[in-house]
Amino acid sequence: MATMKLEIVTAEGTVYSGEVDSIVAPGDSGELGILPNHAPLLTSLKSGNLQVTNNGNREIITIGGGFLEMLANTVTVLADSAELT
Amino acid sequence: MPSLRQIRSRIRSVQNTEKITRAMQMVASVKMRRAQLAAMASRSYTEKLSTMLSNLVSMSDGDLDETNPLLEVRNEENVTLIHITPDRGLCGALPGNLNRQANDFLRQSQETKEISVVTVGRKGNDYLSRITKKLDGFFTGLGDRPNLTDINPIAELVVDAFIQGSTDAVYIGYAEFVNTVNQTPVLKRLLPIEPAEISTQESGGFIYEPGPMEVIDALLPRYVGAKIYQGIRESIASEESARMVAMRNATDNANELAKDLKLQANKIRQASITAELLDIISGTLSIEG
* pLDDT tens digit sequence for A23-80: 999 988 889 999 998 888 889 999 999 999 988 888 999 998 889 988 888 999 999 8
pLDDT of residue A28: 86
Residues of chain A with Cβ-Cβ distance to B55 below 8 Å are 42
pLDDT of residue B203: 52
Beta bridge partners of A53: A22, A58
Beta bridge partners of B139: B120
CA of A79, closest CA in chain B: separation in Å?
Answer: 9
Residue extents of the structural domains in chain B = 4-16+246-288, 23-243
B200 touches chain A (CB under 8 A): no
What global pTM score does this model have?
0.86
| A35: DSSP letter | -
Contact B210 A44 (CB under 8 A): yes
CA dihedral B252, B255, B259, B264 (to 10 degrees): 100
Of B209, B222, B230, the CB nearest to A41: B209
pLDDT of residue B268: 93
pLDDT at A85 > cutoff 90: no
A1 touches chain B (CB under 8 A): no
Residues B144, B232: contact at Cβ < 8 Å? Answer: no
| A12: DSSP letter | T
Beta bridge partners of B177: B183
Contact B55 A42 (CB under 8 A): yes
A11 touches chain B (CB under 8 A): yes
Contact A12 B41 (CB under 8 A): yes
3-state secondary structure chain B: CCCHHHHHHHHHHHHHHHHHHHHHHHHHHHHHHHHHHHHHHHHHHHHHHHHHHHHHHHHCCCCCCCCCHHHCCCCCCEEEEEEECCCCCCCCCHHHHHHHHHHHHHHHHCCCCEEEEEEECHHHHHHHHHHCCCEEEEECCCCCCCCCHHHHHHHHHHHHHHHHCCCCEEEEEEEEEEECCEEEEEEEEEECCCCCCCCCCCCCCCEEECCHHHHHHHHHHHHHHHHHHHHHHHHHHHHHHHHHHHHHHHHHHHHHHHHHHHHHHHHHHHHHHHHHHHHHHHHHHHHHC
pLDDT of residue B238: 94
Distance CA B208, CA B117 (A): 38
CA of A82, closest CA in chain B: separation in Å?
Answer: 12
Please state the φ and ψ torsions of residue B170, each to the nearest 5 degrees.
-120, 125
Residues of B known to be catalytic: 91
A27 touches chain B (CB under 8 A): yes
Residues of chain A with Cβ-Cβ distance to B210 below 8 Å are 28-29, 43-44
Distance CA B207, CA B60 (A): 12
Contact B208 A72 (CB under 8 A): no
Which one of A78, A81, A83 would you mutate to disrupt binding with B, by most B Cβ within 10 Å of its Cβ?
A: A78
**ipTM of the complex in this document:** 0.83
pLDDT of residue B262: 95
pLDDT of residue B258: 95
Cis-peptide into B95, omega within 30 deg: no
CA of B38, closest CA in chain A: separation in Å?
Answer: 6
Tell me how many residue pairs between chain A and chain B have CB atoms under 8 A apart. 83
**Pairing assessment for the beta strands A82-84 and A57-71 based on DSSP bridges:** antiparallel
A32 touches chain B (CB under 8 A): yes
Distance CA A20, CA A76 (A): 12
Low-confidence ranges of chain B (pLDDT < 70): 1, 59-67, 196-205
Distance CA B188, CA B27 (A): 31
A10 touches chain B (CB under 8 A): yes
Packing angle, helices B212-288 and B94-109, rounded to 10: 130
Residue extents of the structural domains in chain A = 4-84
Of A29, A67, A69, the CB nearest to B210: A29
Of B45, B204, B210, the CB nearest to A9: B45
B59 touches chain A (CB under 8 A): no
B205 touches chain A (CB under 8 A): yes
Residues B176, B236: contact at Cβ < 8 Å? Answer: no
| CATH for A4-84 (2.130.10.10, 2.60.15.10, 2.60.120.200, 2.40.160.20) | 2.60.15.10
Distance CA B148, CA A26 (A): 21
Tell me how far CA of residue B67 lies from CA of B62, B64, B132, B203, B220, in angstroms.
Answer: 10, 5, 35, 21, 11
Q: What percent of the residues of chain A are helix, what percent strand, and what percent coil, each to the nearest 5?
A: 0, 75, 25
CA count, 13 A, side-chain hemisphere, B158: 36
pLDDT of residue B217: 82
Residues of chain B with Cβ-Cβ distance to A44 below 8 Å are 209-210, 214-215, 218-219
CATH number of B23-243: 3.40.1380.10
B211 touches chain A (CB under 8 A): no
Q: Is A7 helix (H, G, I), strand (E, B) or coil?
A: strand
